[in-house]
A and B are shown apart, each in its own frame.
Chain A
């Protein structure tokens, strides 16, 4: 018996065991990555998301991540096409609306199966909409105008309003804190079973690891061609795995290595690397959102309109966007709050946008008798682009004669402090782009931080909100935008794009603010 045999025998191993171990280890090192590390079914997709969803209840959270995942499970009566116009989804068609804009008659599609096998009817819709009105901020704002909701037969819905709500369909179509239609028997607080009508059904959630959805075989698709989120939906990939990957660099490495087939919200700095990798395609969603600065109009220096106007004149928005996003393919500095093609596109009031005019700002400050109180800029490094814009903003303001104090806090602190008018003069935030003015920013409503509340605002918005005709609403929005540039309750800095990436094998992916994976396939 050799020394080796003796040692092996002491360990309880034979030579054959040793050979197997060595061969196994060798295989581990030499097998190509695709065979070993990233083994997954041919029709499953690993989707690297920005984090763990707060909840899977689309009404319990307004976080985009929740809706991005759950819009595959739950559908709404209306949804958006690629131009962000509301289109029917579970509704048969656009509603019949009375001449005074107060009565909506909606017919619900027949033959639509819920994930528990039962057919959807109007009772499910009413129960879901009531929950939406009770639970979500948007639902509550709509609910204040709802007089009653009632069934008409098994698939007819009547909504009677106390006053016209021109943005009703847009509210119902929005996938954030959204009016998801769910099986009435599944409705509970908290939601424990997720039964909708979408092309995918919920299978499993393992916190911080994945949420798995699988194809719903009995899905009843619409017949119209796919258009944005609207039209025909087909689950071509059998299993979707939404994987939380909070570190953006890890998402980049993961998609380059082939571990993920989709990676959401990547740093703009990674664009060149992704574009240079043949197995990956960069995708830009433009406009994805807009950064904006909210001014405290209630107290402090910015309670004076002239000082707010001086602040606006001092800002160079292009410089701030460049500092934030690094390359002009990722942003657009524009005075219009809505892009060309939108009924709300207008340049009204925009002459004062992006001036960076320190001399004119100084003149206004002198007229306003600015007393040199420091402008407290509340911002968070948790969103790096916020901080970079705040730094440029501070320099612009100093040049114009403002005293500046940068208060950098974490996001949770900012969210709390922005509700206290005593502790800041301006805070930095952003919103995803939404197609209807009244949906964002919240400063257009009542009581939001910044406390913008003037007779001109009220009159302009009252006229805008009372009008149902889209063309007239467009013109009325121009008036509101003009007042925003005059009274400066907030500065909308520009539009920015989101960068995400898909595997080159992924086909049919349409860039939209919330990525959707129906009609998407893997070659």
Chain B
């Protein structure tokens, strides 16, 4: 098992190297120049050239790549061009809202999606299934920005229950900051619950047709006990996969939701960095996001072995 884990860790490093290389070159393939953007209309070509030199952008691309890779290998993701601070610091400052937003969204999605999926499978073809499946389809189809604006209109503007946007007043405590996440987390939770509902339903339907479930029924066990004790446990593997991957995506930055709700998260950071061509931030943030994604994938594989002894690492 340890050998397998070591092998997987080596594969993770290889994946990260490929990601870093692709991120670097894809970022530079896009046209645009941070120096021109920073200096504005009035700058002369000489001013722009001087600033490019300051940022090392005048060097051949391959030289920039090697220098950057060396820094990354030593744990330094570089210095933001526009934010005038290290990339790691910029990411760290924005990690909290993104982390909590992802956590709450996933919790809400799971709380909605798993029971809805179970109900849909148990009462297959009946009203409960039609309602749950219909709502899941609707949730999957609704753009998160539209649902966000709708929630904002109703719960924040009309009812005044929640703040419209932001992450708390200056000096706000954790509770107030988290309070600002209620609306965006609910929106993301609803949107992401659709996939969990569908996976849970499909998985539960598979399990409910197994022999051991038929046997349990033949033995006269109550239906709720069959569902919750015998069937649910065996549906967990695909549900864990979809929950884990959704969490990884959300930690990578729920870009649109963060923008609509003005949350100072990683998604917002990446968007503004792309628009400004702040290369070190784009590269650094994408590497961190890819790293989280790879680690969560690894964790999912490990969890499989815990919930299902048939799966070997």
Contacts and interface: CB of A to CB of B under 8 A. Distances in A.
Given A209-B264, A241-B170, A254-B262, 9 more contacts: A32-B160, A51-B272, A62-B39, A137-B39, A137-B42, A137-B43, A411-B37, A419-B36, A447-B45
A210 B39 CA distance: 23
A138 B41 CA distance: 10
17 contacts: A37-B156, A61-B40, A62-B41, A137-B42, A137-B43, A190-B84, A206-B93, A253-B164, A382-B275, A412-B33, A412-B34, A412-B276, A413-B30, A415-B36, A415-B37, A419-B36, A431-B41
A482 to B, nearest CB: 24
A212 B169 CA distance: 11
Interface string A423-465: 0000001010000000011100001100000000000000000
A138 B42 contact: yes
Contact of B153 (A210, A253, A382): A253
Q: Is the interface of B mostly helix, strand, loop or mixed?
A: loop
Interface string B252-264: 0000000111101
A247 interface: yes
A317 B85 CA distance: 44
B291 interface: no
Interface in A165-213: 177, 190, 204, 206-210, 212
Contacts of B262: 243-247, 250, 254
A45 to B, nearest CB: 12
B286 interface: no
A152 B264 CA distance: 49
Contact of B163 (A38, A141, A431, A448): A38
Contacts of A63: 40
Contacts of B268: 208, 246
Given A137-B39, A137-B47, A447-B45, A257 B83 contact: no
Interface string A389-424: 000000000000000000001111101110100000
Contact of A253 (B40, B42, B157, B159): B157
Given A243-B166, A250-B262, A431-B41, A410 B47 contact: no
| Size class of the B contact interface (CB-based, 8 Å) | 35 or more
Given A206-B93, A207-B90, A249-B149, A39 B169 contact: yes
B32 interface: yes
A137 B48 CA distance: 10
A416 B45 contact: no
A33 interface: yes
Nearest to B43: A137
Interface string A233-272: 0000000010111110110011011110000000000000
A257 B160 contact: yes
A442 B42 contact: yes
B47 to A, nearest CB: 6
Interface in B75-105: 82-85, 90, 93-94
Contact of A257 (B33, B47, B85, B157): B157
B32 A410 contact: yes
Contacts of A140: 44, 47
Contacts of B295: none
Given A55-B82, A250-B165, A419 B32 contact: no
List 7 tightest A-B contacts by C-beta distance, closest first: A33-B160, A412-B32, A208-B264, A137-B42, A62-B40, A254-B164, A413-B31
A29 interface: yes
Contacts of B40: 61-63, 137, 177
B170 A212 contact: yes
A259 B166 CA distance: 10
B166 A416 contact: no
Contacts of A241: 169-170
Interface string A24-48: 0000010011100111100000000
B137 to A, nearest CB: 26
A357 interface: no
Contacts of B36: 415-416, 419
A139 B201 CA distance: 67
Contacts of B17: none
A210 B93 CA distance: 13
Given A63-B40, A207-B93, A442-B42, A29 B161 contact: yes
A37 B162 contact: yes
A228 to B, nearest CB: 23
B277 interface: yes
A206 B170 CA distance: 9
A27 to B, nearest CB: 12
B204 to A, nearest CB: 28
Contacts of A55: 82, 84
Interface in B52-94: 82-85, 90, 93-94
Nearest to B268: A208
Given A138-B42, A141-B42, A413 B32 contact: yes
Given A54-B38, A137-B42, A137-B43, A250 B164 contact: yes
A202 to B, nearest CB: 13
A55 B83 CA distance: 7
B170 A210 contact: yes
Interface string B167-190: 101100000000100000000000
Contacts of B30: 413
A219 to B, nearest CB: 22
A123 interface: no
